Amino acid sequence: MIIGTLITVTSNSWLGAWMGLEINLLSFIPLMSDNNNNLMSTEASLKYFLTQALASTVLLFSIILLMLKNNLNNEINESFTSMIMMSALLMKSGAAPFHFWFPNMMEGLTWMNALLLMTWQKIAPLMLISYFNIKNLLLISIIISVIIGAIGGLNQTSLRKLMAFSSINHLGWMLSALLINKSIWLTYFSLYFFLSFILTFMFNLLKIFHLNQLFSMYFSSKIFKFTLFMNLLSLGGLPPFLGFFPKWIIIQQLTFCGQYAQLLIMMMTTLITLFFYLRICYSAFMLNYYENNWINYLQFNNFSMKF
């Protein structure tokens, strides 16, 4: 899987890049097999294979069109071919409006596989997207990604789907960073990988998959909850935390470029993601400690024993 990504990133031809993507795809599918949840993981691996194979087919078709362009006396519009290629790469990375496979597939994965899908599997398609200069299509994808990533996570009870929609929202920010500068994208991606790793590691360690487990389990461990929710709010981009730093850079650069409408949409949707993160944190901290309950059970038992 690592070699497949490296082949794609370091390739000097589109055919070599396509081959690296295929190696990456075929090596990730065996990693998805999980003995404990066999039916869900089989369904997820099948969905992943079908969507990625479709995107790879479209990509290969557009690569062949691009190679045939010189033989057909320029009858093929190069910008149209580039748009098809970019659409295929956006589907591979899970960006909206080609995101429909992503949240459902995340539901059937273990936390470590979900981490790989959210981070490592996006490197190769995003690097290939950075070679294009089609700002209109990328801008549409950015706006739809941040909106769907924010609204889709509002009514989710599954933490894996919540992380999937959060990933779609962050992907919109990453594509914006690609429009500005690759070094900014690398900074954003590195910090996103770091925060996602900490969260998924904690979820995997404690076998937490749904919101009600956060409310009902480990309600006496304040340190666990503070660590978990500090990372969750950092991933949302709350200003005092580390996750706000790369967003701050992108906000500054977009302001310099005069992209105020795009920036407004991105900031508003990030506030929506922060809303549901804060709602989870508030509920988990306020509702489920023994000392925060209305009736202190020890005193109640002592009182009832006297009578």
Residues 242-277: pLDDT tens digits?
999 999 999 999 999 989 999 999 999 999 999 988
Q: Residue 225: its pLDDT value, please?
A: 78
Query: Which residues contact residue 23 at a Cβ distance below 8 angstroms, ignoring those fewer than 6 apart?
Result: 1, 3, 4, 7
What one-letter code names the amino acid at 300? Answer: F
Nearest CA to 27 out of 10, 7, 13, 43 is that of 7
Q: Residue 173: its pLDDT value, please?
A: 96
Tell me what percent of the residues of the chain surpass a pLDDT of 90.
60
In angstroms, the CA 230 to CA 277 distance is: 10
Residue entry with tokens 């989870």? 280
Q: How many CB atoms lie within 10 A of CB 172?
A: 26
Burial degree of 76 (CB within 10 A; 0-12, 13-18, 19+): middle
Query: What is the average pLDDT value for the chain, to the nearest integer?
Result: 86
- Ordered by start, the domain boundaries in the chain are 1-286
Model pLDDT for residues 213-231, shown as the tens digit of each residue = 877 655 556 777 788 889 9
- Our separate counts of H helices and E strands in the chain read 15, 0
Q: Dig out the tokens for 264 from the structure.
A: 């407004």
Residue entry with tokens 């496979």? 101
Residue 238 predicted with pLDDT over 50: yes
pLDDT band at 36 (very low <50, low <70, confident <90, very high): low
- pTM value surpassing 0.95: no
